[in-house]
Amino acid sequence: MDTSRKEYPEAFPEADASFFHILLPYEIRLTQRRAMGWGSTPDEELPPLFIGLYLIRIVPLENTQIVPDEDTLESIHRGFFASLRGALRDSDILGRFGPNEFLALVRDLDPEQSYIVAQRVLSITSRSDVLRNAGLTARVGYIIYPLTTQPNLPGEQWLDLVDLARAVGRRPAPSSGATGFGILRGAEITQTDLPETDLINLATQDLETLASAGLIRLQRIHLLAEV
């Protein structure tokens, strides 16, 4: 019996990369059907139709000389995982995605409120003496999907969204502390017939041009004192 996951206290069972391979194709297809099928009449009031993919990476602070050993690092990750769980709703999915990465799936999200999740994560990071004493901090990159009004990304290509979240999370920041960046649907996307898969591939290569054209919207998270 696998007992390795009992160390993560949370409301939802711990997810991992293999679990996301099953879950995310379904979630993407469901979100696409909702986006295309609801709101067909002007008076129809829609619930939030978006999902958020938040990739949180543990990274060394700039110029740090501290190198935690493997056991210490794993203990830090376990504690940080529990803190992240507290920043999400019980219905959201959080999992270890890589040696230094966590992935959160946030359902039924209002795009205009999507920054709140990232701010909560950054707030947790800034208050973490464990991370700071180990010379570590966090970077958050997130995608609010769907990115177009005609979403058609094959569900099996969900890793493209994670790669994009990782890329935006690596954008240069004004400080070496906790930072977050997100990508949302742009106001001009309804004026183009650019396929969604092409939009995502182009965004991975050149965020600035797409943002300047209004096809995507970049959002930088400012750490607030209280979130």
Element (H, E) at 23: helix 17-37
4-36+44-221: CATH topology: Alpha-Beta Plaits (3.30.70)
Q: Are 164 and 143 in contact (CB under 8 A)?
A: yes
pTM (two decimals):
0.85
Question: C-alpha 65: how far from its chain's center?
Answer: 29
User: Is 224 or 68 the better-scoring residue by pLDDT?
Assistant: 68
Which of the four pLDDT bands, split at 50, 70 and 90, describes residue 174?
low
The 10s digit of each residue's pLDDT in 100-127 is 899 999 998 888 888 888 888 888 888 8
Find, among 86, 97, 217, 208, the residue nearest to 147 by Cα: 217
CB neighbours of residue 2 within 10 Å: 5
Sheet with 216-221, strands from edge to edge, namely 93-98, 101-109, 50-60, 136-145, 179-185, 216-221
pLDDT tens-place string over residues 41-51? 444 555 568 99
Q: What is the distance between the alpha carbons of residues 97 and 24, in angstroms, rounded to a whole number?
A: 13
Before 151, cis peptide (omega within 30)?
Answer: no
